[in-house]
Structure 1
Amino acid sequence: MATVVLTLLGTDRAGLVSAVSQLITERGGSWERSQMAHLAGTFAGIVEIDVPSAQVDALVSGVEALGSQGLRVSVERSGEAPPASTEGHRMSLHLVGADRPGIVAEVSALLARHGVNLEELSTQVVEAPMAGGTLFEADAVAVVPDSADTTALRSALEALANELMVDLDLHEGS
């Protein structure tokens, strides 16, 4: 089996996910993981697929043909699925606070300085209940290298949270 990652972007419409999943099934593939959203009137999605190696070209051709229906598709052929990384441990992070520009940039830069890889990141801006204004929320799963000083990382994240005036919850594991 080969692993293929599809990135999909275009005008949202009913049946879009069905069309992609049908192509995957017709080629003997398996839909493994995905993240999809409706963002600013646009459908955006990323899908990891396992498919028989002999069917990769046919799958790619079928998915690219969806471009005629207003869907931009990017295909990354990953070959064999890599083994899960064992060099590090997972940490989950939940952040919430008043929305302002730069939160993701500052948090991700701090993580990068500590050699931490963001494996998953989900963000949203929501109306603040009773207070007015908007809140920024982020949930992430990060892989912290075994060589990292987790005490220093936690301290740096907590200091940044105070500076940004956001609440931050950190938990080992995902």
Structure 2
Amino acid sequence: MQNLLVVTALGEDRPGIVDELSRVIVDSGCNIENSRMTVLGSDFAVIMLVSGRWNELAKLESSLPQAGRRLGLLLNTKRTDAPTRRGDLLAYAVEVISVDHPGIVHQLSNFFAKRSINIRDLSTASYAAAHTGTPMFSVLMTIDVPANTHIATLREEFMDFCDRLNLDAIMEPVKS
């Protein structure tokens, strides 16, 4: 049985921070299974799934408070279980681009939540449009659509929803 630990870290960004944090994990005998790392403002943020034998995870958990102080990181951990993949879900990729304005993520998440569609992965970015400098916003997400959902109806409702909010969107099956 695989033992899993979610580790989150937040702190001032600087060169070498990923090297130092990953060294703490490797030194405990654990392995990074999955991670998302980024710079937000002037801070570095990471969320990762770490695996190891129970004693290796315990060693990591006990070493992280001291490592956090040394590295200047706020660290949190939580034991977790392996995900259960339901065979009755279809993975779809959703990409949305819009002029930036408050509430886009909430509106999108509300659309899917009302239809009992889980958002498995979501990332956003703000940027300036080429040539005009207009503030733009992009959302990339992976959703799990129940297999009994009529896809054509869902797609039509989603595109109508996006048209009302002036969002440019694509929804297509994940090909993997």
TM-score, structure 2 normalization: 0.91
Residue deviations 1:55-79 (CA, integer Å, cap 9, x gap)? 1111012222223132111101114
Residue deviations 1:80-132 (CA, integer Å, cap 9, x gap)? x2343323010001111111111111011000011111111111011111233
The corresponding residue for 1:116 is 117
**Cα displacement (A) at 1:145:** 1.2
**Cα displacement (A) at 1:41:** 0.9
Q: How many residues align?
A: 173
1:132 is aligned to 2:133: yes
The corresponding residue for 2:159 is 158
1:20/1:63 contact within 8 Å kept: no
Take 2:23 and 2:164, find their aligned partners in 1: how far apart are those partners? 48
The corresponding residue for 1:76 is 78
The secondary structure found in structure 1 opposite 2:85 is coil
The corresponding residue for 2:172 is 171
- Where in structure 2 are the equivalents of 1:30-41 lying within 5 Å? 30-41=31-42
The secondary structure found in structure 1 opposite 2:124 is strand
**Cα displacement (A) at 1:30:** 1.3
Take 2:133 and 2:17, find their aligned partners in 1: how far apart are those partners? 36
- Indicate the RMSD between aligned Cα atoms, in angstroms: 1.5
Percent pairwise identity: 27
Take 2:65 and 2:143, find their aligned partners in 1: how far apart are those partners? 32
1:6/1:46 contact within 8 Å kept: yes
Take 1:56 and 1:82, find their aligned partners in 2: how far apart are those partners? 18
Give the unaligned 5+ runs of structure 1: none
Code of the aligned partner of 1:141: T
- Where in structure 2 are the equivalents of 1:12-27 lying within 5 Å? 12-27=13-28
**Cα displacement (A) at 1:15:** 2.0
TM-score, structure 1 normalization: 0.92
Q: Which moved more, 1:104-113 or 1:122-131?
A: 122-131
1:90 is aligned to 2:91: yes
2:24/2:67 contact within 8 Å kept: no
